[in-house]
Chains A and B, each alone.
Chain A
Amino acid sequence: EAAVTQSPRSKVAVTGGKVTLSCHQTNNHDYMYWYRQDTGHGLRLIHYSYVADSTEKGDIPDGYKASRPSQENFSLILELASLSQTAVYFCASSDAAGGSNERLFFGHGTKLSVL
């Protein structure tokens, strides 16, 4: 089974502070994604990447940056955390673009609370 590891599992941040969420995959997958999930809602795509040193904007990129320093690692950066960014964040990987005939493998999620 493919492995996607996120850290930290939970974090409390202060408004205006910087937050970095990390994701590591051992699947040798080209595609990696960051999604956020708000209580009672589905997942929304923030950023994704299909190759190291390159990232792309998803549906809701405002307030977030992403970094893909290697095939295995993909980070999500909140330079100035805001209350509205309180959510659960999921990292995922796939061998090809997520809407094709390829399964997405998710990490366990990071619960972020911004106070």
Chain B
Amino acid sequence: GQQVQQSPASLVLQEGENAELQCNFSTSLNSMQWFYQRPEGSLVSLFYNPSGTKQSGRLTSTTVIKERRSSLHISSSQITDSGTYLCAISSGSWQLIFGSGTQLTVMP
């Protein structure tokens, strides 16, 4: 089965609403990263967060190793937050294993 599963697969919000994106993994964890893929396709790194909580502006990432999950919270969503959010883990070796992503659409 898939080692990294993201939910929901897609999400539609009204501007100003909060979003909670989930990443569940079935193996032990060396590292955990969140990426944002813009609608035009380019990718940027959001967080490196193998454990605990990290915040950057309106984004908060929380990884709970013993529960094998990580979440990405987006507060007060904006139209420009629309895109795909990908999580990736490494387990054993350093190579990253990506989830399929959550496609977020923020409506005006």
**Interface, chain A (partner B; CB < 8 A):** 40-45, 58-59, 88, 90, 92, 97-109, 111
User: In residues 76-93 of chain B, which contact A (Cβ within 8 Å)?
Assistant: 86, 88, 90, 93
Task: Say yes or no: B48 contacts A103, CB within 8 Å.
Answer: yes
Interface CB pairs A-B, < 8 A, 5: A58-B95, A99-B30, A104-B96, A108-B41, A109-B42
Q: How far is the CB of A45 from chain B (nearest CB, A)?
A: 6
The residue that B100 contacts in the complex, of A42, A45, A58, A109, with Cβ under 8 A, is A42
The residue that B94 contacts in the complex, of A41, A42, A97, with Cβ under 8 A, is A97
Task: Say yes or no: B98 contacts A42, CB within 8 Å.
Answer: yes
Give the chain B neighbours of A97 by CB distance below 8 A.
94
Q: How far is the CB of A57 from chain B (nearest CB, A)?
A: 11
* Chain A, residue nearest B93 (CB): A99
**Given A99-B96, A101-B48; 4 other pairs, CB 8 A cutoff:** A42-B4, A43-B98, A99-B94, A105-B45
- In the bound complex, what is the Cα–Cα distance between A98 and B89 (angstroms)? 10
Does B7 touch A at the CB level, under 8 Å? no
- In the bound complex, what is the Cα–Cα distance between A98 and B95 (angstroms)? 6
Give the chain A neighbours of B86 by CB distance below 8 A.
42-43
- In the bound complex, what is the Cα–Cα distance between A100 and B94 (angstroms)? 7
- In the bound complex, what is the Cα–Cα distance between A104 and B95 (angstroms)? 12
Most buried by A among B45, B93, B101: B45
Give the chain B neighbours of A101 by CB distance below 8 A.
31, 48
Q: How far is the CB of A71 from chain B (nearest CB, A)?
A: 19
Task: Say yes or no: B95 contacts A99, CB within 8 Å.
Answer: yes
- In the bound complex, what is the Cα–Cα distance between A49 and B26 (angstroms)? 28
- In the bound complex, what is the Cα–Cα distance between A49 and B4 (angstroms)? 24
* Chain A, residue nearest B91 (CB): A99
- Say whether, besides A42-B101, A100-B31, A101-B48, A106 and B94 are in contact (CB < 8 Å): no
